[in-house]
Amino acid sequence: MPELANRLPEILANMSADDVVQAIAISVDKPSATAVLALAEQYPQLFASVGVHPEDMDSEEMSVADLVAAAAHPKVVGIGETGLDYHWCSGDLRWQQNRFATHIQAANDSRLPLIVHTRDAAADTLSLLKAGQAHAGVIHCFTEDVAFAKAVLDLGFYVSFSGIVTFKNAQSIQAACQYVPLDRLLVETDAPYLAPVPKRGKINEPAFVHYTAEFIAQLRGESLSTLAEATCANTYRLFGKMTRPSTQG
């Protein structure tokens, strides 16, 4: 994303200053898969995913074989961002469902977790995850309700909350955040989008994740240290190829 790439030294310095010791650079199409992997190879604190976002019908497809081959790289830790988006896309969306099914199969074959985007498509997202027998993953940037959270937790998935959870009109997301067990909860930025309060409206970046974590800890009645320790442990459990920095124990 140019909003971040053009400020990369500053972004990484801000991460370090706010004790964000690692981040996953997420792929959204075939060119970005190459770009984020190059970043991960250059910087030890960065890891990468590989996948094609559901939003753009014209994006070049990646086959199961393409995804599995890319996933063999030691710094590729997940498959995605993938999923369904019925908010920005309409009409016959079988192309989107087929793309998602391809990613589910690739995740199963590579034994890497799925990074799932779902918007206005909860029922079909669940249906395809079940049909494909998805083995592991996370619903990223969660925007659904408690019922959907329960359904994906029942599949063994994790649930990740972005800065949206800090917004005043996000009551259903906040309720889901209170519902998700601590050992299945993740916190993310979705940078450069969705900066949390008090940075709402600004370009988001990894360093801002602590604002979201602080809000969630208060929302759930937990200490920030408890939440931070749990979400870090969850990250390493889900993204099993990530290596914890030696300074983190």
Cα–Cα distance between 164 and 193 in angstroms, integer? 10
Residue 159's CB is within 10 A of a number of other CB atoms, namely 23
Judge whether residue 114 has pLDDT over 90: yes
Q: Residues of 18-48 as b/e, b for ≥16 C-beta within 10 angstroms?
A: eebebbbbbbbbbebbebbbebbeeeeebbb
**Confidence at residue 247, expressed as pLDDT on a 0 to 100 scale:** 60
Q: What is the mean pLDDT of the chain?
A: 96
Query: For the whole model, what pTM was predicted?
Result: 0.95
**Confidence at residue 16, expressed as pLDDT on a 0 to 100 scale:** 95
Cα–Cα distance between 130 and 136 in angstroms, integer? 11
- Domain definitions of the chain by residue range: 2-244
DSSP 206: G
Helices and strands in the chain, H and E counts: 10, 7
CATH number of 2-244: 3.20.20.140
pLDDT single digits (tens) 201-231: 999 999 999 999 999 999 999 999 999 999 9
pLDDT single digits (tens) 149-162: 999 999 999 999 99
pLDDT single digits (tens) 37-84: 999 999 999 999 999 999 889 999 999 999 999 999 999 999 999 999
Judge whether residue 249 has pLDDT over 70: no
